Structures are given as structure tokens and as C-alpha cells.
Amino acid sequence: MKYRTLAAALLATLAAGFAGSAGAASWPERPITLIVPFPAGGGTDTFARPLAQQLTMQMGQSVVIDNKGGAGGTVGAGVAAKARPDGYTFFMGGAHHALAPSLYKSLNYNIQKDFVPVALVAQPPQVVVINASKLPVKTVQEFIAYAKKHPGEINFGTAGKGSTHHLAGELFAMQTGIKLVDVPYQGAGPMLTALIGGQVDLAFDGLGSSSGHIRSGAIKPLAVAADQRSPSLPEVPTAAEAGVPNYVVSTWYAIWAPAGTPQEAVDRMTAEITKALNTPKIKETWESNGTAVPTLTGPAFGKFVDSEVARWAKVVSDSGVKLD
């Protein structure tokens, strides 16, 4: 009897282990939702849609984008944080969510506690872009001189109060001693439409969403906020080359899972993202949008997020930016 009991227990343990392995191997068994916390057409979509298509091809299940814009990306983040952590909902946010903790008095989520860091997927630099028909300038120094002659009369579009576009503009103004007026929109897409249409004078946008409009001539770049010139726009100087040293800002994008998501799903998604990012098609798309393929995943990516939260907390404090 004793041996029968031990044998039964052993068989049960093996069966459980086999079932667990089978479950991990079979994930995903249905479509996956990727929550994007900005409207369609913005910078996040520039990378989210090609990546979702590639993941769909690789995994044999649809990765469906769900755009939930509002409040500088915090509305969608809140929805994602409260999603069922069953491995079928992921969240594609970015630099905006490293700003939010310092800008909002209260958030219904914590980017460092309510999510599992999966992977950094793109890191395009910011670019200073203008509507050339509204601003009679050709260089950063000409713009600074013009802005000093017209303090408070020049407006810049943002993807919302507290977005990277907003804080990048405030940082630029602080470093150059000029005064600009921010005009918030519900995402980078509407902001770029306003810039092209002349409702705003300039923007501090991610190269990913601006590059197509730059190449078409709809907007004019003055500088790239990076240490090196962008391979996709080699003729555009860095901010340092243009006379604004230490102005380095990237609009990075990344994927998280709601806290409590099964580790098997997180690990598999991490591996699939890494595989997708290294396909020739994705590499070409990323390069055309001014970014190389990042390599940060898991805890290493989590530490990067922690450093960004601390960095932007100082910028918010120094600029005095407050949200209503």
C-alpha cells in the first residue's frame, strides 16, 4: 500500500509537470491584445503595427492593437494595469510613462510596480521640427534668436500635457533661455496634423513619427536630439552641433505585461519580440524611422525605466511644469 501511494503521488507530479509544460508550449491559444495608449497614427503606432504584424506571423495568433488614448498615455496605461494577467494582454508604452509619476498627483497605476518589464523595442531620438511657412528660420541659432525677439509668441505642439513632446520642449526652452507656449493634442498624430496645417509653429517630436513628413517636405527639421546624426537624416545636425549641448532626448517605446502574468507567457513573448526585432524587415523599418534595434529585455529593461523615471523627475522639478 505504501509503495502504491508513493507511485500514485509520483505519477500525479509527473502529470502536473507535463500539463504545465504542454500549457507553456501551446501559448498563445487565442489572439493577444496589445494596448497602445495613444490614438492611431502617432509615434507609438509607427512601431507597434509592424511589430504586431511580425509577431502575428511568428506565433500563428493575431496580435491585435487596441488604441486607448488620453491624458498623455496614462488612460491606456491604467486600463492595461487592470487587465486580466492571463498572458493575453500586453502594453506598449514608452518614455511618456517615465514622465507621468512626476507630473500627476495621482495615477491609477504604477509603471514600476503594476507591470512586468518585457522589452525595449525602439529608441528613436527627438527631432526639432518646424512649419517653415510660419517660422522664417533655417537653423537652430536663427530660431533661438527669433524666439528671443518674440517671447511667448511662439507655440509648440505636444502629444498631450506631460508627454515627452511637452517636456522636451520645456527642456529646450530652459537650456536656450527662450519662452515658448505649449499646445496639447490627443497624441502625436493630431499634433503633426496641426503642425503641418500651421496651427502650431514647431514641435519636439520622435523621429519615428516625423520622418515621413520630413521626407515629404511637409515639415522642416532643425536638429536631432541625439549624440550622433541619424542615418536616416544625415544632413540634419545634432543639437550639440547646432549650438545646444547636452540636449539629448529619445522617445523610446517598450512592451510590458500586467503584473501577475504567467512567467511562461512573459518569457515566450520576450523571445518572440527579440526574434521579430532581428528580422530584416523590422530592422529596415526601424532604420528608416531613425532607430537601431535595442537589446534591453526583462530586469535590465526594468532598470532602464527606473533611471528614466529619476531623470525626468528632475526635469519636471526644474521646469516647474504642473498638470491641472
**SS3 call for 64:** strand
Same fold, 32-123+252-319 and 126-242: yes
Which of 148, 146, 119 has its CA nearest to residue 275?
119
With beta carbons less than 8 A apart as the criterion, state whether 58 and 271 touch.
no
What are residue 199's phi and psi, to 5 degrees? -75, -25
Name the E strands within the chain. Answer: 32-36, 63-67, 89-94, 115-122, 126-130, 155-158, 181-184, 202-206, 220-225, 253-258
The three three-digit cell numbers of residue 97, written as one number: 510613462
Supply the pLDDT for residue 7: 46
Supply the pLDDT for residue 25: 59
Supply the pLDDT for residue 323: 75
The three three-digit cell numbers of residue 224, written as one number: 536631432
Domain definitions of the chain by residue range: 32-123+252-319, 126-242
The three three-digit cell numbers of residue 84, written as one number: 486580466
CA dihedral 209, 210, 213, 216 (to 10 degrees): -110
Per-residue pLDDT of the chain (324 residues; tens, 9 = 90+): 444 544 444 444 444 444 444 445 589 999 999 999 988 877 788 899 999 999 999 999 999 999 998 877 899 999 999 999 999 999 999 998 999 999 888 899 999 999 999 999 999 899 999 999 999 999 999 999 999 999 999 999 998 887 889 999 999 999 999 999 999 998 888 999 999 999 999 999 988 788 889 999 999 999 999 988 988 889 999 999 999 998 999 889 999 999 999 999 999 999 999 999 999 999 999 988 888 899 999 999 999 999 999 989 988 998 888 775
Supply the pLDDT for residue 201: 98
pTM: 0.77
Look at the chain and count its residues.
324
**SS3 call for 155:** strand
Q: What is the CATH number of domain 126-242?
A: 3.40.190.10
DSSP string, 180-210: -EEEE-SSHHHHHHHHHHTSSSEEEEEHHHH
Class of domain 32-123+252-319: alpha beta
Supply the pLDDT for residue 22: 41
